[in-house]
A and B are shown apart, each in its own frame.
Chain A
Amino acid sequence: SQTIHQWPATLVQPVGSPLSLECTVEGTSNPNLYWYRQAAGRGLQLLFYSVGIGQISSEVPQNLSASRPQDRQFILSSKKLLLSDSGFYLCAWSVRVGEKLFFGSGTQLSVL
């Protein structure tokens, strides 16, 4: 069966520090991969999605970047965090774009 792993679960980082969040999927090949951010009490904002290795689409210009070095690995990064980068980050995958999403357990990021 397919599983998705996302870590760390919580992270507290100072302003200006770098960020690296990792997400891996097991049990499937060539998944579509997504990074979402959820502000407190808000809906989900799609940040990046990828349909294949090295293929990244950005939905919102911002301080973050994403990479997909392997088929089932998706990384969210920042060189210098801002206070506004705080939030709950969720990785997800799907078989096809627009179809059912399977979410990871999320990373609560606090930038202080």
Chain B
Amino acid sequence: SQQGEEDPQALSIQEGENATMNCSYKTSINNLQWYRQNSGRGLVHLILIRSNEREKHSGRLRVTLDTSKKSSSLLITASRAADTASYFCATDTNRLAFGKGNQVVVIP
């Protein structure tokens, strides 16, 4: 199954800054999802964007999807120390396939 690939794989920012992560994939998808994982914990679903959608918002999160480029971005605005986590994109063709994740560190 295909996997999304996140970029950059590691990101360190100051509290209050915006954090942007990208995800690329290879084949057509039904939807793309973003998840968050705190160290040693299970993943938590953040947002799902369908293949016919281009942008979606949820609180401080903004997700875009460009199916022509087979890429998605996750923007976290006004980051907080509590946003420190790994972020994964997952693509749905028939079943969800996860990327390797993006480690984000927000420095207070």
- How many residues of B are in contact with the other chain, CB < 8 A? 25
Nearest CB on B from A86, distance (A): 15
- What are 24 A-B interface contacts by the 8 Å CB criterion? A36-B98, A41-B100, A43-B3, A43-B100, A44-B98, A46-B95, A59-B95, A88-B40, A90-B43, A97-B95, A98-B31, A98-B93, A98-B94, A99-B92, A100-B33, A101-B33, A101-B43, A101-B45, A101-B90, A102-B45, A103-B43, A103-B44, A104-B42, A106-B42
Provide the residues of chain B in CB contact with A44, threshold 8 Å. Answer: 43, 88, 98
Residue from A43, A88, A98, A106 in contact with B95 in the complex, judged by beta carbons closer than 8 Å? A98
B60 at the interface (CB under 8 A from A): no
- A41 CA to B99 CA, complexed, in Å: 11
Chain A residues with CB under 8 Å of chain B are: 6, 36, 41-44, 46, 49, 59, 88, 90, 92, 97-106, 108
Nearest CB on A from B3, distance (A): 7
Provide the residues of chain B in CB contact with A105, threshold 8 Å. Answer: 41-42
- A6 CA to B93 CA, complexed, in Å: 27
